[in-house]
């Protein structure tokens, strides 16, 4: 059978406060299109469906539309929450989603209580059993472990416990089935994409790839935003990566979905299908003229602009933003002059001299530009200072 593995949609994510709804709509349409063209038997959605625990109605509409389109194409979906999703919210939605072929396993439960999801191929010749392992926050690990016959060894570390949890979740794997583990977790050695929350990417959360099941046909992971195969795992294992370049750490990454050809008793074969939807995130650096020229040549990208100048240039930030409407981040950079040896305490100065002292330290310059001082005087006058 053939499966499409995607995850880390993060629908609702903005970039420096700007909506990316159109990009999400395009990217989700592209994913649904690939699922149809490839005639996949199911979609595996590996968590972080939403960016926020309380998503906006707009984000909901985008996700619901994608799920309904898959239903119309008779493509079932198996989904788990990631660390960004509210498991309880997805759990409530699960009831509504079930009749349209979307099975959500919102929290860690033993296989006999619903975490092992069966999906048949269209022709009925093969059956996949998907062991669903939602993200387990460290503080909740005890609750998850308590559902199994956890021994003391489980509690030695998160990684060790997760290894045992994975083992228990995959225990029902059978050689006559396509066995899949669907999880949202961080494996040791994975290269972060840059848009993840750092706190959940770290050594204490890292599960050794060797703890992933050897009996799996395929392991479909979410959490890391750079699409990649996981080295050192006993079965074919991948992070699908995110849907869009979510932050500047993810610039230059081609996003993709994985098409998984799986049959019982053999390791799956995996193909990456690149996504073209969504704008690129691009760094632009140089003098004012350089950044404006480069930026005008990239009208479809979200730009992070760094302007190199000799010193502070009031109004430059606004000018760059005016001329490059797609600049989402503008910084002015110049070399800072070494701070002067301390004079009298700033608090003993008149407000104008306090401001001059502040400005010189803050901007690392000797002279406060005349127009800035004029502006200060104007404000000071209004304030009656």
Nearer to Mn ion, 170 or 185 (CB): 185
Q: Which residues of 25-46 are buried (b: 16+ CB within 10 A; e: fewer)?
A: bbbbebbbebbbebebbbbbbb
Query: In the beta sheet, which residues pair with residue 142?
Result: none
Give the H/E segment covering residue 256.
Answer: strand 256-261
Nearer to Mn ion, 46 or 328 (CB): 46
Among 1, 4, 5, 8, the residue binding Mn ion under the rule CB under 5 A is 8
**Considering the complex, what minimum distance in angstroms separates the CB of residue 47 from Mn ion?**
7
Site residues (CB under 5 A) for Mn ion, limited to 48-107: 48
Nearer to Mn ion, 200 or 235 (CB): 200
Q: Which range touches Mn ion (CB under 5 A), out of 7-15, 27-35, 145-153, 173-181? A: 7-15
Q: What is the phi-psi region of residue 222: left when phi exceeds 0, alpha when psi lies from -120 to 50, beta otherwise?
A: beta
Site string for Mn ion, 30-59 (x = CB under 5 A): ------------------x-----------
Residue 57 tokens read as 């109605």
Q: Which range touches Mn ion (CB under 5 A), out of 3-11, 272-280, 286-294, 316-324? A: 3-11
Q: Which range touches Mn ion (CB under 5 A), out of 8-16, 170-178, 253-261, 268-276? A: 8-16
Whether 314 and 369 have beta carbons less than 8 Å apart is answered as yes
**Considering the complex, what minimum distance in angstroms separates the CB of residue 7 from Mn ion?**
8
Nearer to Mn ion, 82 or 209 (CB): 82
Nearer to Mn ion, 48 or 126 (CB): 48
Q: How far apart are the first and last CA of the chain?
A: 76
Nearer to Mn ion, 151 or 198 (CB): 198
In order of 9, 128, 355, 376, 378, the CA distances from 383 in angstroms are 49, 72, 14, 10, 9
Residue 183 tokens read as 């999880």
**Considering the complex, what minimum distance in angstroms separates the CB of residue 54 from Mn ion?**
17
Binding to Mn ion by residue 250, rule CB under 5 A? no
* Dist. CA 229–CA 246, nearest whole Å: 20
Nearer to Mn ion, 48 or 250 (CB): 48
Nearer to Mn ion, 8 or 250 (CB): 8
**Considering the complex, what minimum distance in angstroms separates the CB of residue 321 from Mn ion?**
29
**Considering the complex, what minimum distance in angstroms separates the CB of residue 10 from Mn ion?**
6
Residue nearest to Mn ion (CB): 48
**Considering the complex, what minimum distance in angstroms separates the CB of residue 188 from Mn ion?**
18
Neighbours of 147 (CB within 10 A): 15
Interface with Mn ion (CB under 5 A), residue total 2
Q: DSSP characters for 123-184?
A: TSS-EEEEEEE----GGGHHHHHHTTT--GGGGS-HHHHHHHHHHHHTTT--TTSEEEEEEE
**Considering the complex, what minimum distance in angstroms separates the CB of residue 200 from Mn ion?**
9
Q: Which of 120, 122, 221 is nearest to 166 (CA)?
A: 221
**Considering the complex, what minimum distance in angstroms separates the CB of residue 141 from Mn ion?**
19
**What is the binding site for Mn ion (CB under 5 A)?**
8, 48
């Amino acid at each position: 059978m053939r499966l499409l593995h995607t995850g880390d949609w993060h629908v609702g994510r903005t970039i420096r406060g700007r909506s990316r709804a159109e990009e999400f709509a395009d990217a989700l349409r592209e994913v649904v299109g690939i699922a149809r063209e490839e005639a996949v038997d199911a979609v595996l959605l590996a968590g972080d469906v939403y960016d926020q625990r309380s998503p906006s109605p707009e984000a909901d509409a985008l996700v619901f539309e994608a799920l309904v389109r898959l239903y119309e194409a008779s493509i079932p979906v198996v989904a788990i929450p990631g660390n960004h999703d509210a498991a309880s919210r997805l759990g409530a939605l699960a009831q509504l989603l079930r009749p349209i072929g979307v099975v959500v396993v919102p929290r860690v439960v033993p296989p006999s209580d619903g975490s092992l999801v069966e999906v048949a191929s269209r022709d009925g010749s093969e059956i996949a059993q998907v062991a669903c392992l939602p993200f387990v926050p460290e503080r909740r690990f005890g609750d998850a472990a308590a559902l199994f016959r956890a021994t003391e060894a489980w509690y030695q570390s998160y990684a060790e416990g997760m290894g045992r949890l994975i083992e228990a979740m995959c225990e029902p794997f059978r050689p006559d089935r396509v066995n899949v583990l669907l999880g949202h977790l961080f494996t040791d050695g994975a290269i972060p994409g840059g848009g993840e929350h750092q706190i959940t990417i770290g050594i204490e959360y890292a599960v050794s790839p060797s703890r992933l099941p050897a009996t799996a046909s395929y392991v479909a992971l979410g959490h890391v935003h750079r699409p990649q195969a996981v080295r050192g795992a006993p079965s074919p294992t991948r992070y699908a990566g995110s849907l869009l370049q979510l932050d500047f750490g993810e610039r230059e990454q081609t996003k993709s979905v994985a098409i998984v050809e799986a049959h019982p008793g053999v390791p799956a074969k995996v193909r990456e299908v690149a996504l073209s939807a969504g704008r690129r995130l691009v760094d632009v650096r140089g003098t004012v003229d350089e950044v404006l020229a480069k930026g005008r040549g990239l009208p479809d990208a979200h730009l992070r602009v760094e302007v190199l100048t000799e010193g502070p240039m009031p109004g430059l930030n606004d000018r760059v933003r005016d001329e490059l409407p797609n600049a989402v981040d503008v910084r002015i950079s110049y070399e800072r002059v070494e701070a002067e040896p301390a004079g009298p305490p700033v608090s003993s100065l008149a407000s104008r001299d306090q401001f001059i002292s502040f400005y010189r330290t803050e901007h690392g310059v000797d002279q406060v530009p005349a127009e800035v001082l004029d502006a200060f005087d104007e404000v000071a006058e209004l304030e009656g200072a």
